[in-house]
């Protein structure tokens, strides 16, 4: 099984190498992301496990860091190369991730949106919002975090935390907290860290 995975990953790296080299060369020349967004959109719509392997191979070349033991499902993409993804991260279908660091064993369900902070556009009257200076913040999503379907994340999330489906996270979530709602608020008692430090059957292991 390990040999088969190694062969598939190697094949994906070979296929993706031209796109990665083009983006890295253009970025070095112009000192910004150039083709990354277009490549990410294109790769996002390749179906099946092959698509996941191709996406991971591309992000291993272009992101600040991306582990090989990651699953990135159909329609999901990163929007900035200044992101990192640690071991055994699972990213479901249709997720869009801005500037973020994602810790190991973390799971994002389908259609999760991770913004590059909560103040990406200016709000001063007198000029159109879309032409005002943008401010991007790299969010930190900790280890062993579970983010439910269709959640919107605009702030840091601590280790061993759970974000309910459809929640809008506007303030930092402390370690071991369960939050839900719009805006997201703590629900129930904090999680016991000793009982949720790892997820031994995380689907990312099959990618």
- Choosing from 36, 62, 88, the residue where a domain stops is 62
pLDDT on residue 194: 56
- Within a domain: 205: no
Residues of the chain with pLDDT under 50: 195-207
pLDDT of res. 9: 92
Q: Can you spell out the DSSP letters for 163-202?
A: E-TT-EE-S-B-TT-EEETTTTEE-SSPPPGGG-S--TT-
**What local confidence, expressed as pLDDT, does residue 117 receive?**
86
Q: How far apart are CA 17 and CA 23, in angstroms?
A: 10
- In order of 26, 79, 85, the CA distances from 64 in angstroms are 16, 13, 9
In a shared domain, residues 46 and 78? no
Are 78 and 54 found together in one domain? no
**The token pair that represents 160 in the structure block:** 């061993």
For position 121, what pLDDT does the model report?
74
Residue 187 lies in a domain: yes
What secondary structure letter does DSSP report for 83? -
The domain spanning residue 152 has which CATH number? 2.160.10.10
Residues 72 and 174 in one domain: yes
Q: Are residues 12 and 85 in the same domain?
A: no
Report the domain count for the chain.
2
Whether 172 and 90 share a structural domain: yes
**Cα-only R_g, the chain:** 17
Do 48 and 71 fall into the same domain? no
Nearest to 110 by CA among 165, 68, 40: 165
Predicted confidence (pLDDT) per residue in 74-90, tens digit? 999 999 999 999 999 99
Q: Are residues 193 and 131 in the same domain?
A: yes
Tokens of 38: 């277009």
| Spatial distance between the Cα atoms of 154 and 150, rounded to a whole number of angstroms | 13
pLDDT for 119 equals: 76
Q: Which domain holds residue 128?
A: 64-199
- Structural domain ending residue among the three candidates 29, 62, 95: 62
Indicate whether 207 belongs to any domain.
Answer: no
């Amino acid at each position: 099984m390990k040999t088969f995975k190694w062969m598939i990953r190697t094949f994906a790296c070979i296929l993706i190498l031209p796109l990665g080299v083009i983006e890295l060369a253009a970025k070095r020349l112009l000192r910004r992301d150039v083709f990354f967004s277009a490549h990410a959109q294109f790769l996002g719509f390749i179906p099946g496990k092959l698509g996941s392997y191709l996406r991971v191979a591309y992000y291993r070349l272009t992101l600040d860091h991306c582990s090989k033991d990651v699953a990135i499902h159909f329609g999901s993409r990163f929007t900035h190369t200044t992101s990192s993804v640690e071991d055994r991260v699972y990213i479901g279908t249709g997720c869009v991730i801005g500037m973020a660091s994602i810790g190991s064993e973390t799971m994002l369900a389908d259609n999760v949106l991770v913004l590059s902070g909560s103040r990406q556009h200016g709000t001063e009257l007198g000029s159109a919002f879309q032409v005002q200076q943008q401010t991007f913040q790299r969010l930190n999503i900790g280890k062993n975090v579970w983010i439910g379907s269709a959640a919107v994340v605009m702030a840091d999330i601590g280790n061993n935390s759970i974000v309910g489906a459809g929640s809008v996270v506007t303030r930092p979530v402390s370690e071991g907290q369960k939050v839900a709602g719009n805006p997201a608020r703590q629900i129930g008692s904090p999680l016991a860290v000793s009982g949720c430090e790892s997820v031994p059957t995380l689907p990312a292991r099959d990618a």
